[in-house]
Structure 1
Amino acid sequence: MTEPAPSEPLHPRLNTLATGVRCRCPRCGKGPLLRGYLTIRDRCPVCDLDYGFADPADGPAFFVMSVVGVLGMAAFMAFEFTVHPPTWVHFAFTFPLLAAACLLILRPFKGWMVAEQYVHKAAPPEFESVGKHGPF
């Protein structure tokens, strides 16, 4: 087993859920991961980790919409079948509540997915031709 270079600090593996939900650096757990609401920083200001590996794409949005969609629709139907509110109540309260729930948990989901990418050493796919279908 090779040891890290003496100048390179050793960072223990952190809990991805804890660092992700707090939107902190997946390596040191101290530096901020995001700049603004959803923009990933270029690097960690504390440990200088390059965030070039981080590309969660639409994953966080998909999971957030799925979770809020299932739970929100269950709550929506329970509210509809028990209270029978007029339609304007749904437009005024239920739909904005669903949108707010999506916006509230989108940032922690993105932080968690970036932390998982770091721990699992996610990298862009590299393809290699095996020579069976031409020179490519």
Structure 2
Amino acid sequence: MSKPQPLLAGLAGRCPACGEGYLFDGFLKVAPSCEACGADFAKADSGDGPAVFVILIAGFIVAFAAVFTEFRFRPPIWLHLVLWLPGTLILSLALMRPLKGVMLAAQFTNKAAEARSDD
């Protein structure tokens, strides 16, 4: 079996080392290790990176769509609220897990670890 593309495996929520095991235990909880190859995810920490990318991507998409809708159709404000509040929530939740997987896969690929001051 060939080695998987780590970033694509992370995007799919799979182990960046083997591409077989799961990267997550729950929706966003990282598994302690890969059940297929035993890769250790105990020190994996994506921090705020995925949330920042979700804010930027979802914010751009929703803001562009809302402005376009306003200038093109001039809907009432309640329709904007009905469209864009759930749209923002759905888009944010849909992007969070894949982006967290990509960030963890990038960390795993580059052999990054938390910075520590053990001096």
- Give the TM-score taking structure 2 as reference length: 0.91
On the 8 A contact 2:7/2:16 being kept in 1, the answer is: no
Partner in structure 1 of residue 108 of structure 2: 118
Cα 1:94–1:126 change in 2 (3 A) is closer
Q: Which runs of 5+ in 1 are unaligned?
A: 1-10, 130-136
Aligned counterpart in structure 1 of residue 43 of structure 2, from 53, 61, 65: 53
8 Å contact from structure 1 (residues 53, 117) kept in 2: no
The structure with more radius of gyration = 1
Query: Can you list the C-alpha shifts for 1:14-71, whole angstroms capped at 9, x where unaligned?
Result: 3233101110001010000001110001111111111023100111011111111112
> What secondary structure, in the 3-state scheme, does the structure 2 residue paired with 1:90 have?
helix
**Deviations 1:104-125 (CA, angstroms, capped at 9, x unpaired):** 0110000000000000001121
Number of residue equivalences: 119
Q: Percent identity?
A: 35
Q: Distance in 1 between matches of 2:15 and 2:75?
A: 45
- Listed as ranges, the gaps of 5+ residues in structure 2 are none
Show the counterpart of 2:14. 24
In the alignment, the residues of structure 2 paired with residue 12 and residue 22 of structure 1 have an alpha-carbon distance, to the nearest angstrom, of 17
- 1:32–1:44: 8 Å Cα contact kept in structure 2? yes
8 Å contact kept, 1:53–1:118? no
- Kindly indicate whether residue 90 of structure 2 is the aligned counterpart of residue 109 of structure 1: no
Higher helix share: 2
- 2:88 counterpart of 1:98: yes
1:35 alignment partner, SS class: coil
Match of 2:77 in 1: 87
User: What TM-score does the superposition give when structure 1 sets the normalisation length?
Assistant: 0.81
